[in-house]
Amino acid sequence: MHYSVMLSEAIEGLNIKDDGTYVDATLGYAGHSSEVLKRLKRGFLFAFDQDMEAIKYSEKKLSEISLNFRIIHSNFEKLKSKLEEEKVTEVDGILFDLGLSSPQIDDASRGFSFMNDAKLDMRMNKESKKSAYNIVNEYDKDSLAKIFYEYGEEKLSGVIARKIVDYRKNKPIETTTELVEIIKSSVGANYFFKNHPEREIFQAIRIEVNDELKVLEKVLPDAIDLLKKGGRISVITFHSLEDRIVKKIFKKYSEVDQIFKGMPDIPEEYKPKIKLINKKPILPSEKELNENSRSRSAKLRIIERIW
C-alpha cells in the first residue's frame, strides 16, 4: 500500500482554487494528485514522473476522478520546458514530494532497499543508463568516498569506499545483499548494528544515480518563476540535504537583495518574489507517525508568490 506523506497539510498548503492550473512534480502513485484533482472543477492538473509503472497505475486512478489532467513522462528537471510545450507559462500551484513511493521501495527488483536482495539498480527512470551497479563498480575510491560523505553524511565513508574497491578487484559487486555485507565487514559488527551505515550509503548511491540534489537546485527557481501572483509551492523533503537546499532557495527569493536592504524605494525586480507561509518546516503529526514510520524524517515547506 502506498501512503502519501503529509497529504492534507501539503494540499491545504496549496490553497487550491477550483479553476486553477496545478502541477504535481512527483506523481508517484497519485496520492497527492488525486486530492488535487478532486478539488478542481474547471481547473487542470499536470503531473510529472519518470517511472512508467507509476504512470500506468496513476493514469487509471486519476481517470476515475476526472479527465482534467495530463501526465508527462519526464524528470521534473524539465518542468518549465515541458509545460511550455503544453502552452502553459504560469500556474497556481506546484507540489513536490521528494520521497520514494512505497511500491518502489517494496519492489525488491528495483534495488532501492538494503533489506531486500536484488540486483544493484536504484534508477527511478528505468530507461536511464546509469545505475547503482555502475557507481559501485566503476567509481574510483575518492569519488565513492565523496558521495558517501556528501550525500550520506557517513563518517566512515573512506573506509567503506576502500573496501568496495578492494572487493571488486576479484569480482563485480552485483547485489544489494553483497553490498550490505561489504559495508558491514568494512566497519565491523559493533558500528554496523549501532549506526546502520548501509542506510546512508544506499541513500547516497540513490541520490547519485538519479542526480537528485542537482535537479532540485535547478528546478526550484524555475518553479518560482512559473507561479502566478498568489500561487503556492509545497515541498516535502525526507533528509537534511534536500531540506537545506529548499530552505536556502526559499530564503534567497523571500528576502530583499543585500544591495537594497534598508532603502526606502526598492526597484520592483529586487523586491522579494515570495513569502514563506511557514518559517519553520511543518512536521508529521503524531497520528501520521504512528500510522507510517516512513514519514518520520519528512518536512514540509510552503511559499507563496507575492508579485
Instruction: Between 264 and 47, name the one with better pLDDT.
Output: 47
- What's the pLDDT score for residue 261? 73
pLDDT band at 211 (very low <50, low <70, confident <90, very high): very high
- What's the pLDDT score for residue 124? 82
pLDDT of residue 202 exceeding 60, the answer is: yes
Radius of gyration of the chain (CA): 21
DSSP 141: H
pLDDT of residue 111 exceeding 80, the answer is: no
pTM: predicted TM-score of the whole model, two decimal places:
0.88
Instruction: Between 202 and 256, name the one with better pLDDT.
Output: 202
For residues 45 and 303, give the distance between their C-alpha atoms in angstroms, rounded to a whole number: 19
- What's the pLDDT score for residue 101? 54
pLDDT of residue 2 exceeding 70, the answer is: no
Domains in the chain, CATH or no CATH each: 7-97+212-305 (3.40.50.150), 108-210 (1.10.150.170)
Letter for the amino acid at 63? S
pLDDT of residue 20 exceeding 90, the answer is: yes
Render pLDDT for 56-74 as a digit per residue (tens, 0 to 9): 999 999 999 999 999 999 9
pLDDT band at 110 (very low <50, low <70, confident <90, very high): low
pLDDT band at 126 (very low <50, low <70, confident <90, very high): confident
At 103, give phi and psi (nearest 5°).
-60, -35
